[in-house]
Structure 1
């Protein structure tokens, strides 16, 4: 886990590393991804340093979806993904909460944008009920 001092996104927020800034509020910064998987790929990050979404205080979340919505509308793309990963096994590369806006250009197929597999686990209704009961009991 990266520390606040070495976090690349914290350095971008502080202006120590330049970025292609799109939106900035008191709590979020949105900017172009410098390793895009599609034209228009950008990031929305909270200014508060938290490694994973569950570490981010609720009062720091209010501008995230509105910023993503503004970017989605402004991009002009009809199809897109919003992606947020937590932990290395879930493909998180920077230990600072961030959301990807990834356009899926019409007709691009798997040549641009996010390519996702969806390996359905084939759980029984009983297994789903058990998972539901466990989660619901903790909420």
Structure 2
């Protein structure tokens, strides 16, 4: 009986060897497919990384452009404020000149006089005070 058992064990071990060879033969395409799948995943990851970097670059460019636009808007706002201030000052000076002209007695035949420099500085001072009161 021991002889038959040994023979049976040998038979099983031989067939087990053949089964593992068959599994290896079937496993080779699976390993190759796994490698291909891994390669595809790696490539996809690289592509996604490149796309992410491109988007990141575009975002940085857009942020810079936004900052430039903000600066231009601020500069334009300052220019408009200066123009408005200048316009108010000119209007105030015009009103002061008008008041000075009205305060002078009307002389129909007299030529129109130009104010002396000290009067102009006085007009300017009055205009600045008027503007200051308007701004407040």
Structures share fold, TM-score greater than 0.5: no
Q: What TM-score does the superposition give when structure 2 sets the normalisation length? A: 0.14
More helix by share: 2
Q: Which has the larger radius of gyration?
A: 2
Q: What TM-score does the superposition give when structure 1 sets the normalisation length? A: 0.14
More strand by share: 1
